Chain A
Amino acid sequence: MKILIAEQDRDFSSAFSTLLGMEQHTVTTVYDGTQVITRLETNHTFDIAVVDEALPRINADKLLKPLFDRNIPVIVLTSEKLTASRLMDTALANAYLTLPFLPSDLTGTIERVMKRKNSTDILRFEDVYIKLSEYMLCGSIPLTDGEIELFADLISHKQVSGKHMEAYISALNSKLEKLNKNIRIKYLIDEGYRMVKIQNE
C-alpha cells in the first residue's frame, strides 16, 4: 500500500515510515503543504494520506479538497481534541487521530479506512444510507470514520461506546438534520442510544 505522510516533524515521519515499512507499505514523507501538492501534480498516486493539521505553507484544511478529488482517503493528525470535534462537522477527512497516540492506533485506523474504502457494503436505516466506499451520508455529506462506526453500531443494535462518542453523535445528528431526514440518534432509557424516527415539525 502506498502511504503519504505529511508532517513537519521529521522524527515523526522517519519513525512511522520505518514502522509502516516493516508492514510492507511504501511510505512517502513530505514536510510541508506545497510538497503534497507537487507530489499530487506529478502523478504520484497514494492509497492513503496521513496529514498533520498544522502543516507549514499550505494548511491541512486546503489540502483536503485536492486529496478528496483524487479519491485518496485522509487521516488528519491533530493535537487538540476540540479542533478534532470542530473539524468533524465540515471536513473532508476520513478519520482523525489526536496526539499522542499509540502506533497501533494509526495502523488500526489505516486498516479500517482502507477496508471501508474497498468494501461494497451499504449501511441502511430507513431512508438513510451510507455507501462505505464513498464515506458519504446518502451520497452527499462527507462522513468521518468515527461517524460511520457509530452508524454501524447503531443499526446492529450494539452498545455505543468510545472516546468521542458524544461528539460523533451530535455531528451525525446535525448532518441528518441538514439532509432533512426525520431520523435522529436519541438516548432511550433501558436501551441506550438508538436511531429513532422523529415527528416532523
Chain B
Amino acid sequence: MNKARKKFVLLSELSVILLLALLLTAINVISFTRAADEADMMTERIARMNGSLDTPGQTPQDMSPPNENNPDAAQDGVVGQKTKNDRSGKAFRLNNGRFGYMGPNSPEMNSSLRYFTYSIDKDGNVEKIAFRMSAISEEDAENWALSLQYGKTGWTNDSYRYRVYEVNKKTYVTVIDQSRELWPCYRILIISIIGGAVMIIISFVAFQFLGRKLFKPLEDADRKQKQFIAKLENEFKMPLTVISADTETLERQSGSNDQIKSIDKQVRRMTRLVNDLGALSIFDESENKTKLDISDLMTAMLENSRPKFEEKNLKLSFQIEPGISVCISDNAFKKVLGELISNSLKFSVSDAGFTLARHKDRVKLIQTNDTKLPDGGCDQIFDRFTMLENAEGTSGAGLGLSNVKDIVRANDGRLSAAVKDGRMTISIFL
C-alpha cells in the first residue's frame, strides 16, 4: 500500500514536471523568437535606408514595396512584403513567413537606437556607413563587420543582432545593440526557472499530502483486513481444538464410526486452513529483514525433506550455487521454500528439481517437476483458494502458493509459473 502511494506521488509529479517544462519552454521560445523578429525589423529598416538612418531623402513612412524603392535590396531578398498600412506603423510579413510590426519612424526612436553599418567591397576595403555605439570602439566594429560578412542574419556577442545585405555591389553589415530589448526575455527566462522550481516543490508537497489523504482509507482497509484475518484465525483455533477433543472423547465412548471419522477429517482440514490463513497475516512489508545466506538454508531444508520425496518414490535433485545471500526475513524464506517443496510433492509424477543461482543482480530460484497438466501458463495457482485439478492427493486450501506470491511481492521480487512439454516450472526472482 505504501508502494502504491509512492507510485501515485511519483507519477503525478512527473506529469506536472512534464507539463511545466512544455509550457515554460514554449513561453521562452516565443519570447526569444519575437525579440529576434523585432530586431530583424529594425535591421531591415536600416537596410532599406541603405545602412544609415541619417541618410536624407528616404523616410520609412514612405516605404513602399522594396522593388520600387530599392531594387538591390529586393534582389537579395532582404526585405519583406507590405501587408498593412496605417498612420503610426506598418505590419510586415518577413521573408521567413512570420509577421512583424514596424513601429513609427519617430526621431526619438531613431536616435535611441544603437547601431553601426560598415560596407565591404570586393577587394576587402571596409568603409564606415554609420556608427552610433558607445559600448564598443570603431575598431572592434570593423572587425565584427569583417567576421560577419558571409552570414545573413543572426545574433552575435549575446545581444547584438546583425544583418548582411548588398547595396551597389557592396556587402553591407549592420549590427544593432538589442541588450535593452532582450532584457525582458531574460527576465521571463529567470522567472520561468525559479517559478518552475517553486511549482515543482509545491506540487510535490501537495501530492504527498493528497496521497496520504487519498490512500489513508485504503491503508486503513488493508490493515483492518489483516487484523480481521488474524482475529478470525485466533477465534477459529480454540473451537477447532475443542471439537477435536470432543470427537476423540466420543470415539472412545461409543467406538469409531463413519460420522466421527468424517468430523475428524473435516477438523484436520480446517486446522490446515487456519494455519495457512495465519501465514497470510504474518508476512507483510514490516517483517524485519536480514541478510540471509539462503544457499545453506535451502540445502538444509531440501536435505531434510528428502525422506518425504523418497516416500512418494519421487526423485529429488537440486543445484545450489553456494554463498548466495538475500535480504529477506528468515521466516519468509522458509515459508516460500516450504511451499515450493510441498507443491512439488503434490504435483510431481516422478521427479522434482530445484535450482538456485545468481541472475544478473538478482537471485533466481526455480522449481521444476514433471506433471500431467496440459501446456500453458498457470499463474492462477498463485491466486487465493485456487487448486489445480489433477493434483495428486489434493490437500490444503489453495493458500500456500498465494502466500508465496505475497511474500515475494513484499520483497520486491517477481514470480511466474508455466507448464511446457509436460514439465511444470515455477520461477522466482528475488
Contact = CB atoms under 8 A, between A and B. Distances in A.
Interface in A58-105: 79, 81-82, 99-104
B282 A161 contact: no
Nearest to B235: A79
Given A11-B242, A12-B238, A166-B334, A19 B304 contact: no
A122 interface: no
A192 interface: yes
B241 A100 contact: yes
A129 interface: no
B237 A19 contact: no
Nearest to B270: A100
A123 interface: no
Q: Interface residue tally of chain A, by bracket? A: 20 to 34
B312 to A, nearest CB: 16
A22 B252 contact: yes
B252 A193 contact: no
Nearest to B234: A79
Where chain B touches its partner, the secondary structure class is: helix
Contacts, number: 68
B343 interface: no
Interface in A140-182: 159-161, 165-166
A103 B248 contact: yes
Contacts of A16: 245
A12 B241 contact: yes
A79 B234 CA distance: 7
Contact of B245 (A15, A79, A81, A165): A15
A100 B307 contact: no
3 closest residue pairs by CB, A with B: A99-B237, A15-B245, A100-B240
Interface of B: 234, 236-242, 244-246, 248-249, 252-253, 268, 271, 274-275, 278, 282, 296, 299-300, 303-304, 307, 330-331, 334
Interface of A: 9, 11-12, 15-16, 18-19, 22, 79, 81-82, 99-104, 159-161, 165-166, 187, 189, 192-193
Given A100-B236, A187-B296, 18 more contacts: A11-B238, A12-B241, A12-B245, A15-B246, A18-B245, A79-B237, A79-B238, A82-B331, A99-B237, A99-B241, A100-B238, A100-B271, A100-B274, A103-B245, A103-B248, A159-B304, A187-B300, A193-B300
